[in-house]
Structure 1
Amino acid sequence: MSISSSALIASSSEIESGANIGARVRIGPFCTIAADVEIGDGTIIASHSVINGLTRIGHDNIIGQYSSIGEVNQDLKYANEPTGVVIGDRNRIEKNATIHRGTLQGRGWTTIGNDNCWLNNVHIGHDCLIGHATVIGNNSGLAGHVQLDDGVQVGSLCAVHQFCILGAHAQIADQSGVVQDVPPFVCAFGNHAFPIGFNELTPAFLEAGPHQQQALRALYDMLYHQGIPIEDVKKEAKRLAIKYPSMTFFNTFFSCSTRGIIR
């Protein structure tokens, strides 16, 4: 057990022997931190939160009250194997979050990157893989094995089906149900979610420059306005990637997509 002398822990919270608590960590009242948990420097854990299992939390995160992180997942095959949760740095996770540990049948770990911002009552299922700078609205949930690439925005009251992939900088409108993969930069809405446009407001697009912007829009038009077979779109994305680095978002997405793409 290692608790930094600069950590501030409420007297009503329970820190089990074996936990590692970094410098300047603040843990509010009535929290429980299990023995195998590591919490990095400067992270704030608000009151009544439970952090369990093999959970690794980086530095300068904010985790809201009544959150449950690293708890046993909802996969009926899970038999208490040593799986866990890894959370990066500078994430803001608001109240009542539930983030479940991985499974041996999946990645083994539920993995979350850096600089994400999630509002109240967000659920992250087992084995999810989440990149950097994503946004998830109130009362939205990701089923098991979901992948969110960098910059994805998910609105409030949304549900994402297991094994779905949301490509980089995709945007899902409020109250949507996603059951297939969503390509990069695509805006989607509805239940089941369907494409409604191209996300021109994301910083990755605005900073790309006019020639790359034109190439990205052209690929979107091939997908949704020209009726071109998906295999031909994939070939064009590979060709364009030689000249336009932003096209890597699409190539990475196409190489991972298995559930079919919203059309």
Structure 2
Amino acid sequence: MSASVIHPSAVIESGAKLGANVRIGAFAYVGHDVEIGDGTVLGPHCSVTGPTRIGRDNHFVGHAAVGGDPQDKKFKGERTELIIGDRNSVREFVTLNRGTGDGGGVTRIGNDNLLLAYTHVAHDCDVGNHCVFSNNSTLAGHVIVEDWVIMSGFAGVHQFCRIGAHAFLGMGVLISGDVPPFTMVATETGGRPRGVNSEGLKRRGFDSERISAIKRAYRTLYMAGLPLAEAKQQLVEQAKDSDDVRALLDFIEAGQRPLLR
């Protein structure tokens, strides 16, 4: 087992737990109720306060503020957590907040995500795997982001919204409703869906038959001029031949906020 490497200027509080081969940079701070998994790198001037649990082989480049109190007036100091998975890359000045007592108590970030500079993930969010959050992209509280989502620079998501798997949010777009899986959203359409993320799906191995079924579902939902209830009826029929359409329909049915439409 390799020993951790800690810069002499770093502060590691008593009670913090560091795995094997953890590296802590200059002037970094690790609080007493923090666990950092094997192989994780905490760059210079990063701070990690707890309760926070960080998995293996993550890289926090520098000046990231991880595990801070939620930015919520209702928070009264109750015990809440931030849980981060494995192999995430977190760039400069990213802020990741813990959950709130009345909001589930936990903020979660999965595996293999890339969070670029000045990204903010607020309290009680749930981020999946393989996501890319570009510079200055922001999640308000209680947002759910499923796997393989890309947020472009300066994109923002309103509290309690959901972003479906494989969605793409364009630069500067402001999201105030649920974004279905596979969907592209852009500012030139007033923050509304503008098509299927076909290129992203191709890169992830979706064949032409699967993409065609998704496009047909998109046309039914957004281009046929149908009321939502009628569009869902047609999607039920299409879902019989497509697991992807079934996933899209399940996402719509589970929504608590209005669908972005």
Q: Which residue identity does 2:226 align to in structure 1?
A: I
Q: 1:110 aligns with which of 89, 107, 110?
A: 107
Residue 62 of structure 1 deviates from its aligned partner by 0.7
- 1:71 paired with 2:68, answer yes
Distance (whole Å) between structure 2 residues aligned to residue 124 and residue 39 of structure 1:
19
1:232 Cα deviation from its structure 2 partner:
3.2
Secondary structure of the residue aligned to 1:80 is: coil
Tell me whether 237-246 or 142-151 shows the greater mean CA deviation. Answer: 237-246
The Cα offsets for residues 205-242 of structure 1, whole Å up to 9 and x where unpaired, read as 76233332221111100111101222233344444444
Report the CA distance between 1:195 and its aligned residue: 1.3
Kept in 2, the 8 Å contact 1:64–1:97? The answer is: no
Q: Distance in 2 between matches of 1:67 and 1:120?
A: 9
Which of 217, 221, 224 in structure 2 is aligned with 1:223? 221
- Measured against aligned partners, the alpha-carbon deviations of 1:55-84 in whole angstroms (never above 9, x if no partner) come to 011101111211111111111111111111
Pairing 1:250–2:248 present: yes
Instruction: Identify unmatched segments of 5+ residues in structure 2.
Output: none
Aligned pairs, how many? 260
Distance 2:202 2:12 in 1: 41
**CA offsets, 1:88-129, max 9 Å, x none?**
111111000100000122121000111111110000000001
Q: CA deviation at 1:172?
A: 0.6
User: CA–CA distance in 2 between the matches of 1:95 and 1:197?
Assistant: 32
State the partner residue of 2:58.
Answer: 61
Write the letter of the residue equivalent to 2:231.
V
Pairwise mapping of residues 51-200 of structure 1 onto structure 2 (< 5 A)?
Answer: 51-190=48-187, 192-200=190-198
1:84/1:204 CA distance change after superposition, 3 Å: farther
For 2:218, give the aligned amino acid: Y
Cα deviations by residue, 1:123-161 (Å, 9 ceiling, x for unpaired): 000000110111111111110011111111100011111
Cα RMSD over matched residues? Answer: 1.7
Distance 2:250 2:7 in 1: 45
Q: Percent identity?
A: 38
- In 2, the alpha carbon distance for the partners of 1:139 and 1:224 equals 29
Selected match of 1:25 from 22, 26, 29: 22
The answer as to whether partners of 1:170 and 1:184 remain within 8 angstroms in 2 is: yes
Higher mean alpha-carbon deviation, 194-203 vs 29-38, is at 194-203
Q: Tell me if the contact between 1:25 and 1:43 (Cα under 8 Å) persists in the aligned partners.
A: yes
Contact 2:182 2:197 (C-alpha < 8 Å) held by counterparts: yes
Equivalent residues of 2:201, 2:211 under 8 A apart: no
Q: 2:212 maps to what in 1?
A: 214
Decide whether the 8 Å contact of 1:205 with 1:213 is kept in 2. no
> What TM-score results when the alignment is normalised by the length of structure 1?
0.93
Contact 2:210 2:244 in 1 (8 A): yes
Contact 2:220–2:235, Cα closer than 8 Å, also in 1: no
The secondary structure found in structure 1 opposite 2:184 is: strand
Q: Give the TM-score taking structure 2 as reference length.
A: 0.94
CA spacing shift, 1:204–1:34, aligned 2, 3 Å: farther
Whole-Å separation in 2 of the counterparts to 1:42 and 1:238? 46
Contact 2:39/2:58 (8 A) holds in 1: yes
CA distance 1:63–1:238, change in 2 (3 Å)? farther
Tell me the distance in 2 between the aligned counterparts of 1:215 and 1:105: 40
Distance 1:26 1:252, change over 3 A: farther
Distance 1:37 1:253, change over 3 A: same
Query: Is residue 37–residue 56 contact of structure 2 (8 Å, CA) maintained in 1?
Result: yes
